[in-house]
Homo-oligomer: A and B are copies of this chain.
Amino acid sequence: MNRRPHEAGQATREAEHGRCLADGIRPFHVMAILARAKALEASGRSIVHLEIGEPDFPTPEPVNAAATRFLSGGQVRYTPAAGLPELRERIGRYYAERYGTGVSPQRIFLTPGASGAFSLALAVALAPGRRVMLADPGYPCYSNFVHLYSGEPHAVPVRAAHDFHLDADLCRTHCGGEVPVAISASPSNPTGTVMRAAVLRELVQWFEAEQGILISDEIYHGLEYGGRPVSALEFGDHVFVVNSFSKYFGMTGWRLGWLVVPEAYAAAVERVAQNIFISAPTLSQYAALAAFSEACLAELERRRRAFEARRDFLWGELVKLGFGVPAPPSGAFYIYADCSAFTDDSAEFAARLLEQAGVAVTPGKDFGTQSPERYLRFAYTADIPVLQEAVERIRRFVGG
CB within 8 Å of B: which residues of A? 1-2, 4-6, 12-14, 16-22, 25-28, 31, 54, 58-59, 61, 64, 67-68, 71-72, 74-79, 112-113, 115-116, 119, 122-130, 140-141, 144-145, 148-150, 177-179, 211-213, 238, 251-255, 262, 264-265, 268-269, 271-272, 274-284
| 5 further contact pairs, Cβ within 8 A, besides A4-B211, A14-B265 | A1-B130, A59-B74, A112-B116, A123-B148, A255-B282
Known: A13-B238, A58-B75, A277-B116. A21 touches B126 (CB 8 A): yes
Q: Name the one of B16, B21, B112 contacting A277, with C-beta atoms under 8 angstroms.
A: B112
Instruction: Check A14–B264 contact: CB distance below 8 A.
Output: yes
CA distance A58 to B251 in the complex (A): 25
Q: Name the one of B14, B71, B272 contacting A71, with C-beta atoms under 8 angstroms.
A: B71
Output the residue of A13, A68, A130 with the most chain B CB within 10 A.
A13
CA distance A252 to B25 in the complex (A): 30
Q: Name the one of B17, B144, B272 contacting A25, with C-beta atoms under 8 angstroms.
A: B272
Instruction: Check B74–A13 contact: CB distance below 8 A.
Output: no
A141 — which chain B residues lie within 8 A by C-beta?
275-276
As for how many copies of this chain the complex holds, the number is 2
A148 — which chain B residues lie within 8 A by C-beta?
123, 149, 272, 275-276
Instruction: Check A251–B21 contact: CB distance below 8 A.
Output: no
CA distance A70 to B115 in the complex (A): 25
Chain B: minimal CB distance from A182 (Å): 13
Instruction: Check B20–A115 contact: CB distance below 8 A.
Output: no
A76 — which chain B residues lie within 8 A by C-beta?
58-59, 64, 251-254
A177 — which chain B residues lie within 8 A by C-beta?
2
Output the residue of A124, A128, A281 with the most chain B CB within 10 A.
A281
The residue of chain B having its C-beta at the shortest distance from the C-beta of A268 within the complex is B22
Known: A14-B264, A67-B283. A271 touches B22 (CB 8 A): yes
The residue of chain B having its C-beta at the shortest distance from the C-beta of A55 within the complex is B77
Chain B: minimal CB distance from A320 (Å): 32
Instruction: Check B74–A71 contact: CB distance below 8 A.
Output: no
CA distance A115 to B274 in the complex (A): 10
CA distance A233 to B236 in the complex (A): 52
A18 — which chain B residues lie within 8 A by C-beta?
127, 179
